[in-house]
Each structure stands twice: as structure tokens, then as C-alpha cells.
Structure 1
Amino acid sequence: MKPGVALPRAAGPLLLVAAFAAGAALDALPGGQRINLFAPPLLAMLGWNLAVYALLLVAVARHRSLTTPQRRLAAWLHAAAALLACGAVLSMYARGSFLEFRAGWDSTFFDAPALHRFMQWLFGPAAALGGITLPTLDEFAALRFSAGGGGERAARWIHLYAITLAALVILPRTLLAFAAARASEAPAPSAGARPLQVLPYSYQGAEALRAGLRAALERHVGGPVELQLAPSLAQGEEAQAVAAEVLLLPLTATPEAETHGALLAALPAPPALVLLDESGFRRRFAGPDGARRLEERRALWRSWLVSRHLPALFVDLSVP
């Protein structure tokens, strides 16, 4: 998510309604009334959510933090994912109440023992939670459609998918939504202002632009900040770098591995944000091609920072 991204006020509730409706309309049991246990979209839904959890763990491991607008957006997205799964579960039970679904399996590449092991891995926890008996290998092999089996009534498989979705999607996403919403509304420390450590590098005059810097960071985090401005480091002083949430750089400089890369390597932890001040660049290139040069320099920095998994914020600090 890009820094500062947020949903319009009315978009959040509409997103939740749309997610639930999409889940309810989802053909979670495709194939008519004869369904393949390993073909439904529910497997894709489970896989997608597990991938999201993996990405969240990577972000935590890299100490990536979200701004307040990003936390609010994350809360809506987590809630929407939970409601999408809720809609799909209710759809299965609603359709199963008036139609008889027969559950079985077929596969081009896998035999019964392989898919039986996968079934036990996928549904074992749900079976234990719901007190549902899983088929033995012989019983499972008899469910193969291409071997002449007609499958079995799908009730227990619907229960297993419902419990699995509740445990792996609905409950975790709901908890993540509440956590993100709470974090976005939590009061900042120090009399309501959030302390932010800012480290200028190869940057002169940061103190004179303190007002513009505070205004830019308050817009970014969505609330008041207590600016803690460290002395500017010059090139060659990278070893003296101190911990900072925000790294302040002039856009007049181009990214260099020997200097900026060395600085990032010397920092105790990666910064949560790299703020690039455009004021000097705009003064230097104020001619007719200034806008083109500005976009080119932004793109150069953006590409360099993306490759290092760092968010960038481009601001003219001379304009508070």
C-alpha cells in the first residue's frame, strides 16, 4: 500500500457489503450437484489468505510499519476478506438445504493415497474441532468419480470447509481488522503527539524547514507529531548514523550505493519512511523542462528505494 492511501468515507461500508454479496454469489460448489472436493474456489480462497498471512509476517520481520491511513485501509480490507468467506459459507449451506450435492474427487496427476494425505492435512484440524470422521483410504478411493463411484452426500465436506474457513479466514481476518482499527485510533504518546525521529543526510538547512517538515509528516501519519530532528550527517559520516524512523534526503542528490547504500547498511534498523525534499530541485530546475526532470528524478529514487523495500514520500518542504 502506498503511503497515505485511504478509502473515501463511504467506501468502507460499501466494500463490506460488496464483499459479503460476492461471497454469497460465489459458486463455492462448482460442477452442478456433483462436486469435486479439490476443485472448488474455496481452496483458492484458503491459499490466498495463507499467502496474505505470510506477507504480513515478512513485513513484521522487516519492521515495516503502516501509517494511520494505511492501518484504516487494512482494517477495511481484513473485514472485507472475513465477510467474503462468511458469504461463501452461508451460500454453501443455503444451496445445500434445497439441493443434494454429491462429493467425490478426480485427478489426472494424483492417486488416492496422495490426495488422501492432502485431505487429512487440510481437514484434519477441522475434523477434530467438529467431531467429524474422515474417510479411510479405501473409503476415500471409492469416492473417485472416474472409477465408477457416485460420491457421497456432501454434508460432511461442507461442514469441514466451513470450519476450516472459520478457523483460517474468518476468525484471523476479523482479529486483524480489529487490531488494525484499534492501532489507527490509538492515541499518540506525549500529549497526543507522536514522536518521530528524523535523520537528515547530506542535507543542509533542515532546521529552517522544520515547519514544512512537521506539516508533511503530520499529513503522512494523520495526526500531530513531535519532531525529533537529529544533526545532519555528511557524506563519509555514515558510520555515525543513529536510529531514526524517517530519513530526510534532498532530491537534488541521486541514489548511490557507495553513499546512500552505506548509510542504510549503517543504520541500526531500516527507516519506516524516506522523505525526499523537492524544494532545492524545484529551484534548480525551474525552467520549461522542470516538471519532466522532476518526474525522472522521482522515478529514479522510487525505483532505488523499492528495490530496498523502503517507502518514499516526495514533498516540497518550502511549502508548509
Structure 2
Amino acid sequence: MNEQVARRVVLVRAIETADAGHAVLSEDDRKYASRSARELAAWQASDSKSAVTQDHFLQQRSEQILKRLAERTPAFAAFQKRALGLPGFWAALPLLALFAGALLDRIADPHRVDLLSAPLLFIVGWNLLVYVALLVWALVPGGKTGLAGQGLLRRLGVGKLAAPRKLPAALATGLGNFMAEWAQLSEPLTRLRLSRTVHLSAAAFALGAVVSLYARGLLTQYAAGWESTFLDATQVHTLLSWLFTPALAVFPFLQGFTLAEIETLRFGVQAGVEAGAGAATGAAPGLAALPGALSGTVDAAVASTAGAGERWVHLYGATILLLVIVPRIVLASIAALRARRLARRFPLDLEHPYFRKLADSIGAGTPAVLRVLPYSFTLDEARDRGLWAVAAMALGAQARVLLRPTVPYGEEPKEALQVGLQDARFDEAGVTVTAALFNLAATPEKENHGAFLDYLARNSKRGVAVLLDESGMLERAGGQGGAEARIAERIALWRQFCSFHGTAATVVNLLQPERHRIELGAGLALPELR
């Protein structure tokens, strides 16, 4: 699915997950949306003579739900119409860079072309440094190009992380969760778009400087030259030879330069040459005529400085075109193509329990698999059946349970899991959700339960859910007074403990699964986004 469809699907998931009490979307609303989506997806598939796909179903269902919410809540309808992020940023930054490049060139002397122009040398040198940095980043395994922080990427992706006012509590929570989740999901796409815009801005900045240089030359007679306290003519000639070699090689019509010409273009020498030329031609009465040899040098210098400004403008313009504008446009084009491809095929994880349960309702895809890793907890036959019921509620009626051997209390997680999983493949094919199963009656301990969760989190790419079975604690409490309060305290303790270890907990009752109905929108509590 493309970016727009994925955004609507993620928005609906966030709203349904937050609306566990059905305050915004009733059960009838959800069933009606699913039924209508199945019919619309079937019609769409019949028109294209293909099978009903999960993408088509999710697209139709999200449109149905969002349309109904917009009809009921005007504030939500206004939120849907607004663009996420900073849409004007992508066009404004290159335009600002274009004007900034023109202004930077204006800072220099507007009546001369400085062979050692600081603004122009800065443009070339900075971009060459950027190319080296990009090459180094590309060679580093797993390295990310760019220095954009999470805050900037989040602002560009979703804008301010604040839901509109005058919304029901569940809907406001859902929108807040959506924006936080979408900022993370769309980060690769936002990073590519930022890369494209930065490269375009760098090209525009250089283009602005070159255009300003040529534009001023239409109305101004440039005097070409250079001056330096520390560099002599030989060093300047070597520097400029290296700088202009690409332009001279690609554009043969450009005129080169010699060491003698560089010497005569030094501003202090030019002043003396002009004074000497004036004396030789009688322009300065009272001065003696120059000797013949010096007169020939003066004539050559005067001849060489005539039209020198135009030559150096062309050299700088061609050099910036080759070393800055063209490479930056190529890099921007590559980033734009990658961003367009990613926007057309947005990588949304449809193996999430929410999506797998919806896919099960239309018979799309393979049945979901819940892999359970019990810790110091042995399941009897009744609790095993309850575990299958929990999987069906969370992942769909066709879901299957993959129950692994119990990890003994206090044993090293690595050794215990390698025995249970043979080769410790936490991300084996076909597994939808991996869940650690604990007895709620146990007190969470950092050295044991925490180490177990940390090890699972490090070795599972999709994260780990936590199931807390309350059946044993309820049996033990019986009808004692204050049992409900003690159970509530223990649940809060476990949830805080799981949150500290980067995951979230779902309370279940394996003897009476119907006591905690896992809603369609919620599914199993998975690790929080970071």
C-alpha cells in the first residue's frame, strides 16, 4: 500500500486500540466497517480479476471508519483535512538557499573578481567535504547518512504532537498515539525527503552565487586579481590549477592561465603596472620613460588583464557547475527516486496482531502464530486450552499456539532458551507474536524475571509481549477480603516492571479467558514505540 493508505490504516488502528471501551466506535460500527470493506474489496478484486488482498480490505475498512468519525466529530474532520508535518518546508528551503547564495556573493567586492574569492572557495570546499563524509557514511555498515535529529524528523513528519481540542478522550488519545507512531514509521521516508531537499538547497545556493556573479557582470566591468599575505604567485597558481582542472578538461573552450599571468594579476602588481603604463604612454607627465624591456612587460601585462574578469567568471561558473550543482542534483534525484518508491510501497508491518486478526476475518494470509515462553510456570491441560482461546481473541479464530518448554526459575535465559528453541531462533518464520508468560502471583524480580525479559528483547526483532495469568492468584485468594485490591496492586507492579524493561503486559485468565476480552483494536500489548 502507498503512504496515504498506510497513514489512514495506522490512524484507524491507533483509534481502535485507544477506544477499548467502545466510546467512539461501537461494536456495530466496527462490524459494519469490516463487512462493507469485505464487499468493496471483493468487488474491486472481481473488477481486476484477482483475489481479495489484505491491502484492499484494510484500505476500504479504514475509509469507512474515518468517514463515520468525520461525520460525528467536526474537529476530527478538520484534523483529517490538514497536512501532517511542514509541507511548505520542502519548497521554501531551496528558494531561501537560492537567495542566500546570491546575497553571499554580493558581500564580496561587487566591482572585481577575486581569484581567491572566499565565498566561492567556501562553496566548492564545503561541498567536496560533504561528498567525502557521504562516502565515509556509505562505507560504514549500518551507518545513517545525515545528522538530522529525532526531533527535527518528527516535526517534519507529523508536525506538533498535539491532538485538536474538543475531541472525546478516547479519540484524542488515539490521535496522540497515531502521531507518535507515524513519526517513527515514516522516519525513513522523511529522512529521504530531507536528504533530497538539502541536496537541492545546496545546488540552489551555489546556483544563486553563480547567477549573481554573471548578473552583476552585465552592468559592471570586473577587475580580476588576487591578494594574499601568506601565499605567493606560485602557490596561488598551484591552488587554482587544481581547482579549475575539471572545468578546463570538460570545457575545452575555456582559456587557461600561466604563472606569469597569475603574477601580473596580483592587485599590488597591477597597481604598479598601471602606473608604469601611464608613465610609458605619457599619461603621467614628469615621469621618466620606462626601459624597453620593462615596457614590453607592461604591454603584456596590460594585454593580459584586458578581459581577464570574463575569463575568471567563466572558470568559476564552470567549476561550481561541475563540482557542486550537477553532483548535488544527482544526489537529490537519487533521494527523490528512493522516496517516491518508498511512498508507493510503504513498509507497514502487516504481521502485527491487529492486522493478522483482521486478515483472518477475510481468510487472507496464513494463520497467526502465538509463540509462548513460560517462565517458572507449568501449564496444565485447562490452562493450555485457555491459552488457545486467548490467541483466538487476540489474533483471530484461526490462530495457533506454539508453546515452548518452561524456563526454570533462576536459570540463565540463554542456556534455558537454547534448550527450548534448539538454536535460539527468536525470529523464526511464521511466528506472529512472541509472548513471555508469567504467573501474576509471582513477585517480579530484576535478577530473574527482568533478566529473562531483557534477553528476549535483545534477541527478538519484533519485540516481546507479556502475558500475566491471574487464575492462580484468584484461586489462592478465594473469597478473602481485600483480594481484589491486592490483585490490582500486583497488576500495577507488574505493568510498571514490564514498562521499565521496555515491554507491556496483558492480563489474562487462562481458566476463564472470557474474563478479560482482548478487543479487536487492542490485541496483545506489544512493546512501546521508542
User: For 1:186, what is the secondary structure of its paired residue?
Assistant: helix
Higher strand share: 1
Distance 1:231 1:36, change over 3 A: farther
C-alpha distance in 1 between matches for 2:339 and 2:127:
22
Pairing 1:296-311 to 2, within 5 Å after superposition: none
User: For 1:157, what is the secondary structure of its paired residue?
Assistant: helix
Distance 1:241 1:165, change over 3 A: farther
C-alpha distance in 2 between matches for 1:281 and 1:43:
62
Residue 109 of structure 2, aligned match among 31, 34, 42: 31
1:23 CA drift (Å): 1.8
Distance 1:136 1:284, change over 3 A: same
Residue 146 of structure 1, aligned match among 268, 271, 277: 268
Whether the 8 Å contact between 1:29 and 1:92 is mirrored in structure 2 is no
Distance 1:117 1:8, change over 3 A: same
Pairing 1:1-320 to 2, within 5 Å after superposition: 8-27=86-105, 30-63=108-141, 64-65=143-144, 67-130=188-251, 131-149=253-271, 152=305, 153-187=308-342, 192=345, 194=347, 211=353, 283-284=496-497, 317-319=526-528
Calculate the TM-score normalised by the size of structure 1.
Answer: 0.60
1:104 CA drift (Å): 0.8
Calculate the TM-score normalised by the size of structure 2.
Answer: 0.38
Q: Deviations over 1:266-318 (max 9, x none)?
A: xxxxxxxx9999x99982398xxx9xxx9xxxxxxxxxxxxxxxxxxxxx944
C-alpha distance in 2 between matches for 1:157 and 1:52:
25
AA matched with 1:117: T
C-alpha distance in 1 between matches for 2:88 and 2:138:
30
C-alpha distance in 2 between matches for 1:231 and 1:144:
80
Highest CA radius of gyration, 1 or 2? 2
Whether the 8 Å contact between 2:111 and 2:222 is mirrored in structure 1 is yes
Whether the 8 Å contact between 1:29 and 1:40 is mirrored in structure 2 is no
Distance 1:147 1:70, change over 3 A: same
1:154 CA drift (Å): 1.2
Which sits farther off after the overlay, 128-137 or 45-54? 128-137
Whether the 8 Å contact between 1:28 and 1:40 is mirrored in structure 2 is no
C-alpha distance in 2 between matches for 1:231 and 1:183:
38
C-alpha distance in 2 between matches for 1:57 and 1:133:
33
User: For 2:109, what is the secondary structure of its paired residue?
Assistant: coil
Q: Deviations over 1:200-248 (max 9, x none)?
A: xxxxxxx9xx559x9xxxxxxxxxxxxxxx99996689x98999xxxxx
Aligned length, in residue pairs: 238
C-alpha distance in 1 between matches for 2:258 and 2:494:
71
Distance 1:118 1:283, change over 3 A: same
Whether the 8 Å contact between 1:104 and 1:144 is mirrored in structure 2 is yes
Structure 1's consecutive aligned runs of 4 or more residues displaced over 3 angstroms after TM superposition are 148-153, 192-196, 230-237, 239-243, 274-277, 279-282, 316-320
RMSD: 4.6
Higher helix share: 2
Higher relative contact order (CA 8 A, sep 6+): 1
Identity of aligned residues (%): 33
C-alpha distance in 2 between matches for 1:60 and 1:101:
42
C-alpha distance in 2 between matches for 1:231 and 1:104:
78
C-alpha distance in 2 between matches for 1:80 and 1:155:
27
